[in-house]
């Protein structure tokens, strides 16, 4: 599967960070995976073998990292094994943490500590770490985590879909905390929509406006600058900023789009985040090669046809819990 993913990234022009994820148990007090989880469960040895295989056989354009799904899905000893390998290879280390309040309660019952508190005490994360969600984090945990340089990856559409709650964004940014943006699902793959959900969720919670705005920048610019820096760090390849010697990855906008009419260089990024219409993307360059021209991918027709065939083949296996308007079944990710 690794090479299939890598080939797909190469064909479409996606700068790939491949992060296999260890999942070995169903919960803190459930030492075995559930029936639905067995198909992707691994032992720590099997996981490290897979990681090292990917690292040794990559085509050279892929960054390989390590993922531990969560404290509830991975034992402390297994997490120690993974963090030792990550430190040895200086690769990205990703993990879900404190996504749901039940996880916090279960972690406290098991370790007599909250998830982020226990992680900081036992593993001393640094700027190679990307902690996904961290929704239910205390002020004390927030202060300590911001000092270690770890990135918090927020996934607003999934956090809303599951009713998880809201991360304390303004408090985190005020402490110099780093953020990245993700989806944690396939329901949406639009980073600007995720940023819009992020800001609007914070506004609803605080009953105020422009939560992510910087002292000298609009909300759109501030959000984009934050997640580009944090995302590049979390991915381990340094993309997200234009600099001499860095990756030639860039996006150009269609300045004739009605969506952008009348905007200046500052407010145009607000429009990109908040208008919510079809993105006015003109061109996309990855690694110095144009992959999108005049709004169309260079392999667009073939890719759309192939994607439709795959979705049609997978449809019988889909369940209503995969969609926001599905049944009332509670899904833990």
Mean pLDDT on 137-165: 97
* pLDDT score of 190: 92
Residues taking part in catalysis: 133, 184
pLDDT digits (tens, 9 = 90+) for 27-60: 999 999 999 999 999 999 999 999 999 999 998 8
* pLDDT score of 318: 64
Long-range contacts of 242-247 (CB under 8 A, 24+ apart): 247/15, 247/286, 247/287
Angle (nearest 5°) at CA 140 between 135 and 84: 75
**pLDDT-derived band at 266, boundaries 50, 70, 90:** confident
Mean pLDDT on 194-201: 98
For the chain, domain boundaries: 2-241
CA distance 178 to 37: 32
* pLDDT score of 325: 56
Instruction: Judge whether residue 92 has pLDDT over 60.
Output: yes
pLDDT digits (tens, 9 = 90+) for 119-134: 999 999 999 999 999 9
End-to-end CA distance of the chain: 21
**pLDDT-derived band at 180, boundaries 50, 70, 90:** very high
Kindly state the percentage of the chain with pLDDT values over 90.
80
At the topology level, CATH places domain 2-241 in TIM Barrel (3.20.20)
CA distance 14 to 260: 26
Instruction: Judge whether residue 207 has pLDDT over 70.
Output: yes
* pLDDT score of 329: 41
CA distance 167 to 156: 9
Mean pLDDT of the chain: 92
Report which listed range, 6-10, 71-75, 277-281, is most confident.
Answer: 71-75
pTM to 2 decimals?
A: 0.90
Instruction: Judge whether residue 331 has pLDDT over 50.
Output: no
């Amino acid at each position: 599967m690794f090479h299939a993913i890598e080939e797909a990234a190469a064909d479409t022009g996606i700068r790939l960070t491949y992060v296999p994820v260890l999942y070995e148990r169903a919960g803190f007090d459930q030492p075995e995976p559930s029936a639905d989880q067995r198909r992707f469960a691994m032992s720590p040895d099997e996981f490290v073998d897979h990681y090292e295989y990917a690292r040794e056989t990559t085509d050279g354009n892929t960054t390989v990292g390590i993922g531990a799904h969560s404290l509830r899905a991975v034992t402390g000893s297994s997490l120690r094994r993974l963090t030792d390998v990550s430190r040895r290879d200086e690769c990205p280390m990703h993990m879900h943490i404190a996504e749901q309040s039940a996880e916090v309660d279960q972690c406290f019952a098991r370790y007599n500590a909250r998830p982020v508190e226990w992680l900081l005490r036992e593993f001393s994360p640094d700027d190679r770490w990307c902690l996904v969600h961290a929704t239910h984090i205390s002020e004390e945990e927030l202060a300590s985590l911001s000092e270690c340089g770890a990135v918090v990856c927020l996934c607003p559409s999934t956090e809303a879909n599951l009713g998880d709650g809201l991360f304390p964004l303004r408090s985190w940014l005020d402490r110099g905390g780093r953020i990245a943006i993700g989806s944690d699902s396939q329901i949406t793959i639009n980073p600007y929509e995720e940023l819009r959900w992020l800001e609007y969720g914070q506004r609803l919670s605080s009953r105020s406006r422009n939560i992510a705005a910087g002292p000298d920048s609009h909300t759109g610019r501030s959000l984009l600058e934050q997640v580009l820096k944090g995302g590049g760090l979390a991915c381990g390849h340094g993309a997200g900023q234009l600099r001499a010697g860095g990756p030639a990855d860039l996006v150009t906008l269609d300045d004739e789009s009605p969506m952008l009419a009348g905007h200046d260089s500052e407010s145009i990024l607000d429009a990109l985040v908040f208008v919510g219409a079809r993105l006015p993307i003109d061109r996309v360059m990855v690694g110095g090669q144009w992959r999108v021209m005049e709004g169309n991918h260079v392999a667009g027709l073939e890719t759309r046809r192939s994607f439709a065939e795959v979705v049609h083949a997978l449809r019988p296996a889909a369940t209503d819990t995969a969609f926001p308007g599905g049944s009332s079944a509670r899904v833990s990710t």
